[in-house]
A and B are shown apart, each in its own frame.
Chain A
Amino acid sequence: MESISKKKLQQCSDEDLMEYFQAGYEQAFNILVSRFKDRLHNFLYRYTHDHQDCEDLVQETFLRVYRSRHSYERIAKFSTWMYTIALNLAKSLYKKKKRMTTVTIHKDESDPEDRPMKLEDTDILQDDSLHEKMCMDHLEKALNKLSDDFKEVVVLRDVQQLAYDEIAEITDLPMGTVKSRINRGRAQLQDLLESYVYPETISA
């Protein structure tokens, strides 16, 4: 493979960058990281709802890309391959968290480092930003309530804006199932959002 400048690398497709990386150009990997770090955060945050967990998952995803670079084959789009890794990691974390049913929040008297946690919010939000924050909170809450089957396809489509065929490949589902789940997921999400805004309309 011929040598290439950083400027030229930046103009390469994701798949070309992966090939340069496989050929030993670490700079190609760094460019992939800068291209995808925000998109992956955006995707994985919908699973973790926690910035630290999300960052850990994104780091782990890139580490796996780094380690498994030689198993990538150009027949797949790089983003499809990477999102499959990220989705599997998110599912594992979710299962692990589900198993942790008991959480201790009492202070450990024997541990001098264990201090009560302070929860402070010193920001007084203005009306507009308060409204915006409430909408975002509702959306996060609604997303969290969607079943995993719906959530994964809806997030891949409407948050990540991936193509339907790419989503079908990542989730290993037929295209018809992907589209049907996206339709139902979107409608269910809207139902949930309306139930937060107009709780009186929900029957017991």
Chain B
Amino acid sequence: METVDYANDRQLNEFIIDFSDGNLDGIELQVFNEYLKFANPVRAFALKAKEGCQALRNHYKVKAADDFEEKLARRIAEENKNLVESE
């Protein structure tokens, strides 16, 4: 897998972050798109970052079990009881 390291280019990093987050608009987006037309490796990297970001944001959510709070309350009650007994 090709790795592209743009870590040293702070401004480019910021642009790619904003591009992936969908926070570039108007003139900024226009300027960035113009730039990408002439910078193929950056374009490939920025598009991959954006797609990776979208894949994760659409990822399914994991939820707590219905009895989660009940179990936690039991553990806390037990801990409090042990604390009182040890005092």
Give chain A's interface residues, CB within 8 Å of chain B. Answer: 30, 33-34, 37-38, 40-42, 45, 51, 54-55, 58-59, 62-63, 66-67, 136, 139, 143, 154-155, 158-159, 164, 176-177, 179-180, 182-193, 195
- The interface residues of chain B, by DSSP majority, are classed as helix
Chain B interface (Cβ within 8 Å of chain A)? 1-7, 10, 13-14, 16-17, 20, 45, 48-53, 55-57, 59-65, 68-69, 71-72, 75-76, 79
From B56, B65, B69, B76, give the contact of A154 (CB < 8 A): B56
Contacting pair A41 B63 (CB below 8 A) = yes
Q: What residue in chain A is nearest B50 (Cβ atoms)?
A: A186
Main secondary structure of the interface of A (DSSP, over half): helix
| Contact partner, A182, options B4, B10, B17, Cβ 8 Å | B17
Q: With A33-B72, A63-B79 as known contacts, state yes or no: A191 contacts B14, CB within 8 Å.
A: no
B79 vs chain A, min Cβ distance (A): 7
Q: B4 contacts which chain A residues (CB < 8 A)?
A: 184, 187
Asked whether A187 and B17 contact (CB < 8 A) given A41-B63, A158-B57, the answer is: no
In this complex, the member of B1, B50, B69 whose beta carbon has the largest number of chain A beta carbons within 10 angstroms is B1
Cα–Cα distance between A185 and B69 once the two chains are bound (Å): 34
